[in-house]
Structure 1
Amino acid sequence: MEAAEKEEISVKDEAVDKNIFRDCNRIAFYRRQKQWLSKKSTYQVLLDSVTTVEDSTRFQIINEASKVPLLAEIYGIEGNIFRLKINEESPLKPRYEVPDVLTSKPSTVRLIPCSGDTGSLILADEKGDLRCHITANPFKVDLVSEEEVVMSINSLGQLYFEHLQILHKQRTAKENEEEASVDTSQENQEDLGLWEEKFGKFVDIKANGPSSVGLDFSLHEFEHLYGIPQHAESHRLKNTRDGDAYRLYNLDVYGYQIYDKMGIYGSVPYLLAHKLGRTIGIFWLNASETLVEINTEPAVEYTLTQMGPVAAKQKVRSRTHVHWMSESGIIDVFLLTGPTPSDVFRQYSHLTGTQAMPPLFSLGYHQCRWNYEDEQDVKAVDAGFDEHDIPYDAMWLDIEHTEGKRYFTWDQKRFPNPKKMQELLRSKKRKLVVISDPHIKIDPDYSVYVKAKDQGFFVRNQEGEDFEGVCWPGLSSYLDFTNPKVRGWYSSLFAFPVYQGSTDILFLWNDMNEPSVFRGPEQTMQKNAIHHGNWEHRELHNIYGFYHQMATAEGLIQRSKGKERPFVLTRSFFAGSQKYGAVWTGDNTAEWSYLKISIPMLLTLSITGISFCGADIGGFIGNPETELLVRWYQAGAYQPFFRGHATMNTKRREPWLFGEEYTRLIREAIRERYGLLPYWYSLFYHAHVASQPVMRPLWVEFPNELKTFDMEDEYMLGSALLVHPVTEPKATIVDVFLPGSNEVWYDCKTFACWEGGCTVKIPVALDTIPVFQRGGSVVPIKTTVGKSTGWMTESSYGLRVALSTKGSSVGELYLDDGHSFQYLHQQQFLHRKFSFCSSVLINSSADQRGHYPSKCVVEQILVLGLRKEPSSVITHSSDGKEQPVAFMYCAKTSTLNLKKLSLNIATDWEALIWLAMRQNITTYQSRYDAHGSTDPCGSLLPAAPSVLTASTLQHSLTHTSSHQASST
């Protein structure tokens, strides 16, 4: 172990030293904006400057003090999105505008100028449902929907824009004295960090002087805000106070503090606001250090006058003010107008992309440690999973697998035969994931370093030399991933002939890419380091890790010649990172509080586009007590990314090391995950094509139920499963809120049925985690669990049908080969729909474009909530074959269990449950009488015959099924 590494580990074993990291009061642009805004200087629109071009409306904004004009542009974007850009009209040089995050140039819609009051301008879309009402003096924008002001911009007058200035060394003493915007005494210049900003022993020299921007947004009648990850904080955003803003600045914070607004590994400058009847979003596209202040003013009633015995009262609506401040760049903000949560999710993904469709193996369990010692250790751990009958899909190797922390190499003593090791894993249908960080060891004998240096591919310092900083290998340089040529070259390193010892089962983990720089300011890169295009690091800090993951994902795709999906986990991220893979919550601690905080952290990531997210099982730092470890496995099994991980100085914690009883509990949790993989995979498909989060806060599914708005200890997986992890030690009872007064919920373990709209007390033992299936849903499962996902490809399916209060259910299954892009290029997929209505379960196509030759069968159907025992059950397939079905009915739990079925998942079929012949005939006769030829479940039926016999009824159902399939 090198000296630098030992030093960093010793530092990291301690609690977070807040002196290493800045709070708001030690951030110069925050202090400047606060001082400036206290002067109440205002901006106004020059209405005679308004022009309309093909895709936007433009006008000048001028400050009453500086008289320097800004250029504002307002765009209408397809899907009920508005975009506001504010930049200097004539900057000394271009200001940084974030590239590559938007999936393409957004499709604009024409905004039509409408007549407004004197001193205002109104812009409306063609429908006229959404309008921007622009007030000239003082400058303000009201976003109006259906005659209601939903959002106001600059209503508090917090627009702030620092103009670029000539280089510090070129300025004369007179110019220094004449700075207009702030007090420029020598003492105050140092305090406000105009040209230099000191923090500890570091001095940040600002060649262009101050360049920060800011703007406020007032959200009318909104009190519940969510988003702006990543923070170890509650799901609902809290009110801030002076010096206590949410900080978006990607930092390596080992053992981060919980319930703290400091920036940690990733930043997504996007938040959502929700109230009864409406959801909106604000996406602030800026990659420099950003601070967000939030202040909610609740609704109040107050007396205006006293008119005799009657007091006249006025109600002031609640509103929440959001103040965005960024160190540099321009103001570029997208306003997502909803109106539903799903609409906002779609609008955001229209801008930044949807979650990448993951390879199926990556939804299984991952086993990681810093570090598995050598090939024998890997072999022994792999065998341990088989010996204890615990499935897993991927073995992970941390930095010690390399030759002296030189990425793309192997330690020849520890891992002399990496291909042989991978072939062992391949024989078990498992994968290997290895780490690759952005720092490159400075070593003239290291080919990656030499080639990068020769081509000028490193970030540079102010003097134009390669930037050098200390990280795991010791003295290192950092690849400039903002340069497309660097990304292209880095991607080429994953080619099999280049990355010696790699195979097609090797996937990647990007760590330390904030970037982490030991001994740097706040343990990251100096802000005045220089990137491609001569942009300072301050402009793009938060997007560095985004580019690292992009290059890695593209490299894995290229090595397969575009055929195979990549898997890349990243620690640092930005808006749009969902396009390239998965994210985790970083260096957490083995304490109950970190298990608990992981839920709101993952919910916040999920609603801001990053569905593939997780937290290290058991806590990365420290040794979890056994109960905590079990509870964490149980929680992690119901969270999108499922990985056990631990730092190097912890005790080994493979699942079988704690005694048979605890091994059994962990085994059960992992096997539960594998049984639900068909449902997980279907959810990720919907995240990929329809932008719907996999893991959802309750308010997303129940947007009109006020009690759900603050809940963060339970959540939905898709629309069908409600999960309430146990996050307290020695718990024996858990209070679970079951939403929806018209809903019914089924305990997934006992099948007990509960009405919605209430809190229930659920007894829990150490083998129990409350999971409920929502009435009206069908959840596909696997009936057998293999050693890994690869062993389960052809195994049978089961369907868990939970009936609604109306006795109906719907669900879906998405299926493809689990690893290639053939689902996209060749439509090699199956998308099936399951619907249960009037005692008939129908399997039909949800998307007839798809075709995939699956031989899998549905082997079991479990119906929950069936109140009467059937007299018989018959299956009817599309080829006309009928089969009676043996079944078991439990009156105590109202469950019907159909076993030993053999119904092909890829073909149309139906299962008819005869409660009693006379009852079924009566039921269907009433359906005909009430609906004519239209089935209440949405099917088309032939006209009712004059005499409804069993045979004609069966013929009708057959006709219904085939008609449904042809018309889907």
Structure 2
Amino acid sequence: MRGLKVILLTLVALPAVFAVKSHDFKTCSQAAFCRRGRALATRARESSSWTSPYSVDPASVTIDPTKATFTAGVRSSIYPEIKFGLDVRVHEDGVVRVRMDEVDGLRKRYDEASSWALIADPEISREIQWTVAKDAVRAVYGHNNNIEVVVAYEPLKVSLLRNGQEQIVLNGDGLLHMEHFRTKEAVDQEKSGWALPEAPEEGLDLEDAQVVMQMNPRSWFEGVGDDGWWEETFGTWTDSKPKGPESLSIDINFPNHGHVYGIPQHATRLSLPTTAGEDAYYSDPYRLYNADVFEYLADSTMSLYGSIPVMHAHSAESTVAIFNAVGSETWIDVAHFVPKSTHTHWISESGIMDIFLMPGPTPADVFAQYARLTGTSALPAQWALGYHQCRWNYISSDDVRDVQTRFDEEDIPVDVFWLDIEYAEDHKYFIWDKKSFPDPVDMLHDVEAIQRKMVVIVDPHLKRTDNYPIYQQAKDLDLLIKKKDGQEYEGWCWPGSSAWVDFFNPASWDWWKSLFKTMPEGDKWAWIDSTENTYIWNDMNEPSIFNGPEISMPRDNIHYGGWEHRDVHNINGMLFHNMTAQAVMHRTDPPKRPFVLTRSFYAGSQRLGAMWTGDNLGTWEHMAVGVSMVLSLNVGGFSFSGSDVGGFFGNPEPDMLVRWYGVGAFSPFFRAHAHIDTKRREPYLLEEPYKSIVRDILRLRYSLLPVWYTAFREASVNGLPVVRPHYVVFPQDEGGFDLDDQYFVGGSGLLVKPITRKDVTETTMYLPENEVYYDYFTGHAYRGAATGKNVTVPAELHQIPLLIRGGSIVPTRERPRRASPLMKHDPFTLRVALSTTGTARGELYLDEGETFAHQAGQFVWRAFEATAEKGGKEIRIRSRDLAARNLDTAVDGVALTTYDARNAFAKDVARVRVERIVVLGLSREPRSVVADGKEVHWEYKAGAAAASKGEGTASMLLVKDPHASITTDWEITIHL
């Protein structure tokens, strides 16, 4: 097996010197159903008389008087013998769900995608009344009855309106097409009656094709011939299609919104460029098909590792969104029209129509509406927000110990060390290679001794050998994915011949969770060479299969329930992630918050853990697009995300590596990782001054952990992203709609622009408002403008452009520690950045950081406020308890009915104090600073403002040891 291992490593390492092998992956023109869907759109666009053949049968409309739902039959003028059913309902929060399925067809279409994505069946409104007219059904609801949903009969069109303006329109361009189930024999018999002109080998020319289409309306609608209906070949692979054609196309338009965001994961701009029309930026649609794309392009619509079919549409007037609950491969065309209108065309291989229309009208409303559907980001363990050090591979127990020692010798903080696939004997996960790791538990305990953690990889492929008990158990329990003939599927991955567990089979769930137990239970398997502080990395779960079509699984493989892999492909990786997260959570009693990193994901994966953007390259282009990708993932609801620092491939020069650490330090998930062929590049190996710069960047990340943790708490409650693009924070400022190279960290008021270009010494940052912004490090003040303004900020290699928005209070912990758990009782510094009106506000959330005790009220949640009093002659800074005032949104999406400010955790940190308060922007030197009636020590440094430019060095007041606890109410008065 060592020989096989070398062969596999060689095969995988070789492409590292090349670009992505694009020929391994389909374009739309090579995917028959996408080709058919795009051809339909072309015919519609070129025909002045095009109209959708789908219409509602008025006689079939049925209103449920007890709730806001109606159903109706849908017919097609092209296929009058085929029946379709429409179901439209309005949720309590105003979200509209539109479902359509084939009725009494030859087969059942896959209709379970939403059941994996949604956290529960949404509550249906019981107050909305449907009005039935001769040509449409409509309902009016919302604040001041300003929202209206209209279902037009002929042709079928569903519109969501606000204040009389269309916000979202389904089938407005008439591109709805649900390919009904049929048999090849019936199609052949039907076509035998067509008077077809004799076609040359290369096919019909356009004139002949038009003749055929005019002779037969079905040809006009579907095109000439059965293009890939019954089988399809790509490369050496032939996809048998026993169910025949079953794709679903639908146009989803945003008539009053000029920008669309979301549909992660793609390496592209945040505001999605066009793929259709004369001014198309890309020639191919955006593809959602989870795939292992080796060395992906830095600017492409190619599918990557995960798929979240959610799209935001934005204008200065409103934000709306749709969630298309489909699990199969999906292609999305985007076209922008003047003035400020966006049309999109969604083409999926299989499944029913199940689309959720989110009315907004603000970005915050949309995030909350989507979170109520698919859940919020889980509140991670606090240590998981620290720095993670990984490479493929640390080669031995002694190597791991040496890496930890070197970090400590250089006084560089780190929380987590990672092991890639080589820790496992012959890539049999759960089983250590004892030649290289003879003492895994002792090694793990050595790491844990400094309150650090380890993460090891567990991939979904199981080595097909009788001496691997995990595979043997899965085989004996009949839990493995099958080929189309019902036999066990065999593919090729890291272990060689491999099999895959079918996690759609409920019988696999408890079995998989049992494998992570660290203590034996009877005669069951136990992972005794592990500890409860060993966490998990799920890679290759697209699934990645080296000898499969598009490096993945054949679409005609069979899952539990008889569904083909094509139906569930994009959901598959999430189920593996889900079961692993549950396994890690429940291996202890009481449970601990799990940390499981995933590469593949779907809508709802945010509930489970973290993700990273896969096999990026050590280039400036990949560094830059990684920022956009993380912002897009946050828009898609998946906040806990990041790109590999340094790039997975390549050997970045020291200056590039420094800049990449600046990117990573301001990503929700912060991990350095490297390919097996790269040089070692741990930060302690850098020469000076690079090593010291990286050390300072890492210390900055650790000092800001309270900010990151507070942002994650908010995300766990209301779905707001942890890193926020400008349109989220300033939804009416058109100057920020395209921005994706600078962003805000939670609601902290921190605005950052990581540098992703070589040899930069200064850069511009966009300020969206007439407010002061302070340089985080120097206190230099920049003044924005009501219409937006670009300002120039320093950006030398040792500098990260980081501003504090006026009106913010930022809590930090400034004492360097080796790992984040060691900071638990460290004091705080509060940076009070006064607004132009002399006010500021901030929040701090703390809890124990590892268990779920916070859901029972074991936490501290404080607000800090600065107000201008007595005509500006006093500035008062206060701390007050937020939990008692916000019981319904306290923490982690769990509402509390009672809260005790003196809970056990609060008592444990009662001695934690605020050791410093830094106030920026005072108008003049104070006369005194008083806390609890007593004068406290303070120092003042006057500013040097340049009034003509609206900027300059701000004044700075330093209050030392103001006798303020982090758990109690207090007030400090600055007398001016």
TM-score (norm 1): 0.89
Q: 1:756-775 residue pairs with structure 2 within 5 A?
A: 756=784, 757-775=788-806
Q: Does 1:256 align with 2:305?
A: no
Q: SS at the partner of 1:48?
A: helix
Kept in 1, the 8 Å contact 2:230–2:244? The answer is yes
Report the equivalent of 1:309. none
Q: Deviations over 1:494-524 (max 9, x none)?
A: 1112112110110011100000000211100
Q: Which amino acid aligns with 1:847?
A: A
Counterpart residue type for residue 865 of structure 1:
G
Letter in 1 for 2:24: I
> Aligned partners of 1:228 and 1:181: how far apart in 2?
34
2:863 alignment counterpart? 833
CA distance in 2, matches of 1:113, 1:47: 18
Q: How does 1:463-474 map to 2 (within 5 A)?
A: 463-474=485-496
- The one-letter code sitting in structure 1 at the alignment partner of 2:119 is T
- Residue of structure 2 in register with 1:237 after alignment: 272
Secondary structure at the aligned position of 2:89 is classed as strand
1:904 aligns with 2:965: yes
Matched residue SS, 1:663? helix
Q: Which residue does the alignment assign to 2:70?
A: 57
Question: 1:5, 1:473 within 8 Å by CA — same for their partners in 2?
Answer: no
Provide the C-alpha distance between the structure 2 equivalents of 1:678 and 1:213, rounded to a whole number of angstroms: 46
1:640 to 639, 659, 668: 668
**Aligned-partner residue type, residue 937 of structure 2:** A
Structure 1 SS opposite 2:821: helix
Taking structure 1 as reference, are residues 679 and 758 closer, same or farther at Cα in structure 2, changes over 3 Å only? Answer: same
Residue 82 in structure 1 maps to residue 96 in structure 2: yes
Q: Give distance in 1, aligned partners of 2:395 and 2:579.
A: 28
- Alpha-carbon distance between aligned partners in 2 of 1:477 and 1:49, rounded to the nearest angstrom: 48
- Aligned-residue sequence identity (percent) comes to 40
Instruction: Give the counterpart of 1:429 among 447, 451, 476.
Output: 451
Q: Give the residue type in structure 2 aligned to 1:836.
A: A
Amino acid at match of 2:800: I
Match of 1:327 in 2: 349
Quickly say closer, same or farther: Cα 1:430–1:214, change in 2 above 3 A: same
Deviation at 1:911, TM superposition (A): 1.0
Q: Distance in 2 between matches of 1:103 and 1:47?
A: 34
Any idea what SS the aligned residue of 2:584 has? helix
> Hey, what's the Cα distance between the residues in 1 that align with 2:775 and 2:273?
33
Cα displacement string for residues 237-260 of structure 1 (whole angstroms, at most 9, x for unaligned residues):
111127510000000001100110
Question: Which residue of 202, 226, 234 corresponds with 1:199?
Answer: 234
Which amino acid letter does the alignment assign opposite residue 174 of structure 1?
Q
**Cα–Cα, structure 1 residues 601 and 126, in superposed 2: closer, same or farther, change >3 Å?**
closer
Q: In structure 2, what is the equivalent of residue 887 of structure 1?
A: 938
C-alpha separation in 1, matches of 2:223 and 2:714: 57
Aligned partner of 2:38 among 31, 34, 38? 34
Q: CA deviation at 1:111?
A: 6.7
SS at match of 1:900: strand
Matched, 1:227 2:238: no
Q: For 1:391-430, what aligned pairs fall within 5 Å after superposition?
A: 391-430=413-452
Q: Over residues 185-235 of structure 1, what are the superposed CA-to-partner deviations in whole Å (9 max), with x where a residue is unaligned?
A: x99656x11010110110000111010011112212211110000000000
TM-score norm. by structure 2 comes to 0.89
2:926 aligns with one of 870, 873, 877: 870
Counterpart in the other structure of 2:245:
210
Post-superposition Cα deviations, 1:670-692, rounded to whole Å, max 9, x if no partner, equal 00000001111000000001211
State the partner residue of 2:767.
738
SS at 1:656 equivalent = helix
Paired AA for residue 60 in structure 1: G
Counterpart of 2:814 in structure 1 is 783
Q: Which amino acid aligns with 2:286?
A: Y
CA distance in 2, matches of 1:177, 1:599: 56
Cα deviation for residue 91 of structure 1 reads 2.4
Amino acid corresponding to residue 774 of structure 1 in structure 2 = R
User: Offset of 1:6 from its aligned partner?
Assistant: 2.2
The aligned residue for residue 174 of structure 1 is 189
Q: Does the alignment pair 1:381 with 2:403?
A: yes
What is the Cα-based RMSD across aligned positions, in Å? Answer: 1.9
Please tell me whether the aligned partners of residues 94 and 142 of structure 2 are also in contact (alpha carbons under 8 angstroms): no
- Partner of 1:548, secondary structure, is helix
Contact 2:179 2:248 in 1 (8 A): yes
Q: Does 2:313 align with 1:273?
A: yes
CA deviation map 1:625-672 (0-9, x unaligned) = 110000010121111100000000000001021213111000000000
Aligned partners of 1:187, 1:745: CA distance in 2, in Å? 58
Shift of 1:783: 2.4
Amino acid in structure 2 at the alignment position of 1:105: D
Gaps of 5+ in 2: 45-49, 195-215, 278-282, 520-525, 869-874, 885-898, 944-953
**Contact 2:36 2:223 survives alignment (8 Å):** no
- Residue ranges of structure 1 left out of the alignment (5+ in a row): 300-317, 877-881, 916-968
Aligned to 1:246: 286
Q: 1: distance between equivalents of 2:533 and 2:191?
A: 60
Cα distance in 1, alignment partners of residues 152 and 833 from structure 2 = 54
Deviation at 1:885, TM superposition (A): 1.0
Offset from partner CA, 1:239-290 (integer Å, 9 cap, x none)? 1127510000000001100110010100000000110120000100001000
State the one-letter code of the partner of 1:106.
P
Partner of 2:541: 513
Say whether the 8 Å CA contact 2:132–2:138 is kept in structure 1: yes
Q: 2:370 aligns with which of 337, 345, 348?
A: 348
Does structure 2 conserve the Cα–Cα contact (< 8 Å) formed by 1:5 and 1:471? Answer: no
Counterpart AA for 2:459: D
> Tell me, what secondary structure is at the counterpart of 1:660?
coil
Question: Does the 8 Å contact 1:860/1:897 carry over to 2?
Answer: yes
Give, as a single letter, the amino acid of the residue that structure 1 aligns with 2:268: E
Matched, 1:794 2:825: yes
Q: Deviations over 1:832-883 (max 9, x none)?
A: 010111211111101122532213111111111112111221212xxxxx44
Who is 1:338 aligned against?
Answer: 360
User: Which amino acid is 1:138 matched to?
Assistant: P
Contact 1:70–1:88, Cα closer than 8 Å, also in 2: yes
CA pair 604-181 structure 1, distance change in 2 beyond 3 A: farther
Give the distance between the partners of 2:314 and 2:765, measured in 1 at CA. 23
Quote how far apart the aligned CAs of 1:7 are: 1.7
> Which amino acid in 2 is paired with 1:232?
A
| Paired residue type of 1:618 | G
**2:485 aligned counterpart, secondary structure:** coil
Report the AA paired with residue 119 of structure 1. Answer: D
The CA distance in 1 between the partners of 2:402 and 2:510, in whole Å, is: 37
How far has the Cα of 1:114 moved from its partner?
4.9
Q: Give how far 1:718 is off.
A: 1.5
Per-residue deviation, 1:36: 4.1
Give the match's secondary structure for 2:861: strand
Q: What does residue 953 of structure 1 align with?
A: none
Alignment map for 1:531-542 (pairs within 5 Å): 531-542=559-570
CA-to-aligned-CA distance 1:6-25 (integer Å, 9 cap, x gap): 22322344211111111001
In structure 2, distance between residues paired with 1:281 and 1:673? 33
Give the match for residue 960 of structure 1: none
How far 1:902 sits from its partner (Å)?
A: 3.6
Q: Per the alignment, do residues 114 and 251 of structure 1 end up closer, same or farther by CA in structure 2, a change over 3 Å counting?
A: closer
**Pairwise CA distance, 1:146:** 2.1
* Maintained 8 Å contact 1:111/1:123: no
Contact 1:212 1:326 in 2 (8 A): yes
CA contact (8 A) 1:36 1:182 kept: no
* Aligned: 1:847 with 2:888: no
Structure 1 residue 131: deviation in Å?
Answer: 1.6
1:822 — aligned with what?
853
2: CA distance, partners of 1:363 / 1:274: 31
| Alpha-carbon distance change, 131 to 188 in structure 1, aligned in 2, over 3 angstroms | closer
